[in-house]
């Protein structure tokens, strides 16, 4: 998912309209609401800045998943959803096939919001006892020894808005636009499911709406069937999918296509769905998608859903975009026809490797989704415009206000720490192990864990195996324990030697408050009057370090980390101490 910082900068363009959207979303959904007394768009933008300083705080319910939910493995969801936008109502039939992984299990626990009314529930074709309280659905097994089970739930009602949106019956210019955004744990607002990201499934989803509406979902289109004035779209996946990535868009869309041809010569359709009034803009903004897919396929490994599709659909979530598997949702205010939001498109596409194919083992590992997708923005910029673009992209994501640890960020799943510091950690890992091993790590990690889930430790093991190094300290300081940047103070003097050479004595002090000592590779660059320079790399592993460098010419300048590889605040003490 990409929650766009650009929205904060662009308030002049989007102005007060944006603010009202934020207001309505904010109020309904459990993001900390804004103050009510705001009058001007300037005040609004300030307030939005404050609200997003740490990312939206989700009211995650710690009891959402019961221990029993880890004792089952869902294999397949067959969802039939009848949409009634005028009434804001759905009628659903969910057929869930799964296996129990423990013989003594006395009930199957799933997630399902109880505001939806269950009309019928059967287990292996027999009606079964169940309880639906809050967000839990428990189906009791009595004495039946289960192995494979088939649960059928017939239900209807109006889905509750929750999280960052959940299931929405929206409207634009008098037209209906239905969409969902379930990440992290709101799929159960619209279908019963084992809503754990690591319980991946295969999916059949049949969406029925008025025949004037196009209904879109994950995977490939099996069939379109007209029944009087209602049309059913049947979508299906070949590849496993996590519940939070299962999606539905239904509106009056204009469809257009492109294609991607893989290195092996396979052709895959790219399907775009634009709102009718934004077709021209969408054609401009979506244009580079095949190039982006080719770049990431070359860099990480072949696009992982090549037998299905890639697609982009506009939706009414105005806070950013969402990487729904094979059909990214782009907020309609991010389609402007000026290629202004390329990084958003790149980010969501990159999630198809990082987050979708390689899923997070738990939400504590969310940086493996967001940090990776964010670093992919920098990699794409580098591929287009070179090293300087890599550096400037990374500097645009630099902050000295990251908070909490990257692993297990609590309720701040979508904070700048998770996105931007996550990207910086990959950038620093690249500097630590070198380009060729770094990209080998990415390709190996992808190949090993695609269509499955990976934890932070899984990633670290790949890094250690390929670099043949113990990276415990690196990941401790940046991911598990450290919450700060390196604070590096330095001072340097030149001592003239008797043979005329110059001895540079550089003293370094790490002065960060909490994390005692970072270990890192540091480049020291010396610049000379004639315009030349020389560089040396040192490994810093002490709080206080003195480095001596002997050079022939007297340098006029010393620069630490000249290529911006480190999440470090570097201060020259020469400038205020003498
Ligand atoms: Zn994202």
Read off the pLDDT of residues 295-339 as tens digits, 9 standing for 90 and up.
999 999 999 999 999 999 999 999 999 999 999 999 999 999 999
From residue 146, give the alpha-carbon distance in Å to each of 138, 139, 192, 201.
15, 12, 19, 19
Which token pair is 436? 């060729």
Predicted confidence (pLDDT) per residue in 258-300, tens digit: 999 999 999 999 999 999 999 999 999 999 999 999 999 999 9
Q: Does pTM surpass 0.85?
A: yes
User: From the CA of 244, how far away is ligand 1's center (Å)?
Assistant: 13
- Each domain of the chain, given as residue ranges in start order, spans 1-53, 67-251, 486-575
Residue 189's contacts (CB-CB under 8 Å, 6 or more residues apart) are 113, 159, 160, 161, 162, 166, 167, 180, 182
Residue 352 CA to ligand 1 center (angstroms) comes to: 10
Q: Tokens 């999280």 label which residue?
A: 163
Residue 239 reports pLDDT greater than 60: yes
Distance from residue 146's CA to the centre of ligand 1 (Å): 38
Distances (CA, A) of 296 to 279, 281, 451: 26, 24, 17
DSSP three-state, residue 504: strand
* Rounded-to-integer distance, Cα 372 and Cα 366, Å: 10
Rounded-to-integer distance, Cα 131 and Cα 140, Å = 8
* CB burial readout 428-442, b (16+ within 10 A) else e: bbbbbbeeebbeebb
Distance 386 CA to ligand 1 centre (A): 23
Separation of 457 CA from ligand 1 center, angstroms? 21
Section 66-85 average pLDDT: 97
Per-residue pLDDT band for 23 (boundaries 50, 70, 90) equals: very low
pLDDT-above-70 percentage for the chain: 89
- Give residues with Cβ within 8 angstroms of 13, minimum separation 6: none
pLDDT tens digits, 557-578: 999 999 999 999 999 987 655 4
In the reported structure, the alpha carbon of residue 330 is separated from the centroid of ligand 1 by a whole-number distance in angstroms of: 12
67-251 and 486-575 in the same fold: yes
Say which DSSP state 69 is in.
G
Q: Ligand 1 centroid to 2 CA: how many Å?
A: 4
Cα 370 to ligand 1 centroid, rounded to whole Å = 5
pLDDT at residue number 322: 97
pLDDT score recorded for residue 145: 66
pLDDT of residue 3: 78
DSSP per residue, 522-540: EEEEEE-TTS-EEEEEEEE
Cβ neighbourhood burial of 470 (10 Å; 0-12, 13-18, 19+): exposed
| CATH code of domain 67-251 | 2.60.40.1730
Q: How far is the CA of 196 from the centre of ligand 1 (A)?
A: 18
Ligand 1 midpoint to CA 180 (Å): 16
Q: Distance from the CA of 511 to the center of ligand 1, in angstroms?
A: 33
Superfamily of domain 486-575: Aminopeptidase N, middle-beta domain (2.60.40.1840)
Instruction: Convert the pLDDT of each residue in 542-552 to its tens digit.
Output: 999 999 999 99
282 half-sphere exposure, CB direction, 13 A CA radius = 25
Indicate whether 170 pLDDT > 60: yes
**Among 305, 343, 303, which residue's Cα sits nearest to residue 321?**
343
Distance 107 CA to ligand 1 centre (A): 35
Q: Which residues pair with 6 in a beta bridge?
A: none
**Encoded tokens for 467:** 């670099």
């Amino acid at each position: 998912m990409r929650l766009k910082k650009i929205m904060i900068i662009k308030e002049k363009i989007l102005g007060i309209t944006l603010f009202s959207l934020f207001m309505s979303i904010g109020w309904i959904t459990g993001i900390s609401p804004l103050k009510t007394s705001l009058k001007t768009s300037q005040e609004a933008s300030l307030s939005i800045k404050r609200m997003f300083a740490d990312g939206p705080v989700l009211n995650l319910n710690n009891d959402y998943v019961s221990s029993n939910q880890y004792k089952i493995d869902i294999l397949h969801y067959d969802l039939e959803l009848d949409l009634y936008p005028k009434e804001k109502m759905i009628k659903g039939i969910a057929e869930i096939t799964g296996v129990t992984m423990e013989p003594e299990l006395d009930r199957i626990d799933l997630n399902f919001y109880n505001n939806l009314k269950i009309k019928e529930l059967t287990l292996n074709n027999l009606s079964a006892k169940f309880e639906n309280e809050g967000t839990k659905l428990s189906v009791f097994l009595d004495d039946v020894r289960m192995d494979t089970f088939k649960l059928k739930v017939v239900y209807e009602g109006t889905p509750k808005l929750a999280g960052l949106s959940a299931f929405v019956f929206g409207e634009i210019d008098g037209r209906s636009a239905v969409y969902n955004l379930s990440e992290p744990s709101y799929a159960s607002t619209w279908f019963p499911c084992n809503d754990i990201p690591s319980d991946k499934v295969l999916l059949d989803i049949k969406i029925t709406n008025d025949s004037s509406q196009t209904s879109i979902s994950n995977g490939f289109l099996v069939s379109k069937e007209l029944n009087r004035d209602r049309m059913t779209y049947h979508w299906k996946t070949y590849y496993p999918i996590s519940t939070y990535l299962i999606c539905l868009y239904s509106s009056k869309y204009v469809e257009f296509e492109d294609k991607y041809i893989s290195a092996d010569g396979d052709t895959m359709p790219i399907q775009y769905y634009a709102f009718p009034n934004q077709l021209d803009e969408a054609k401009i903004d979506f244009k580079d998608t095949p190039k982006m897919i080719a770049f990431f396929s070359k860099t990480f490994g072949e696009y992982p859903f090549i037998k299905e599709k890639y697609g982009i659909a506009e939706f009414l979530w105005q806070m950013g975009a969402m990487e729904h598997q094979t059909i990214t949702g782009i907020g309609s205010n991010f389609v402007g026809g000026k290629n202004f939001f390329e990084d958003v498109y790149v980010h969501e596409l990159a999630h198809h490797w990082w987050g979708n194919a390689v899923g997070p083992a738990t939400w504590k590992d969310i940086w493996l989704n967001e940090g990776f997708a964010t670093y992919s923005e920098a990699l794409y910029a580098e591929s287009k415009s070179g090293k300087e673009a890599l550096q400037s992209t990374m500097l645009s994501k630099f902050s000295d206000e990251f908070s909490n640890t990257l692993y297990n960020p609590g309720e701040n799943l979508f904070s700048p720490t998770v996105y931007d510091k996550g990207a910086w950690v990959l950038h620093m890992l690249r500097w630590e192990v070198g380009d060729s091993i770094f990209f080998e790590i990415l390709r190996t990690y992808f190949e090993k864990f695609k269509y499955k889930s990976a934890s932070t430790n899984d990633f670290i093991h790949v890094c250690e195996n390929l670099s043949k190094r113990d990276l415990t300290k690196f990941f401790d300081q940046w991911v598990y324990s450290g919450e700060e940047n390196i604070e590096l103070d330095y001072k340097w003097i030149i001592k003239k030697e008797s043979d005329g050479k110059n001895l540079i004595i550089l003293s370094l002090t790490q002065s960060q408050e909490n994390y005692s000592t970072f270990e890192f590779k540091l480049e020291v660059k010396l610049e000379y009057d004639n315009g030349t320079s020389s560089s040396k790399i040192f490994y810093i592993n002490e709080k206080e370090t003195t480095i001596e460098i002997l050079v022939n010419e007297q340098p006029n300048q010393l620069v630490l980390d000249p290529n911006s590889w480190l999440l470090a605040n570097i201060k020259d003490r020469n400038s205020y101490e003498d």
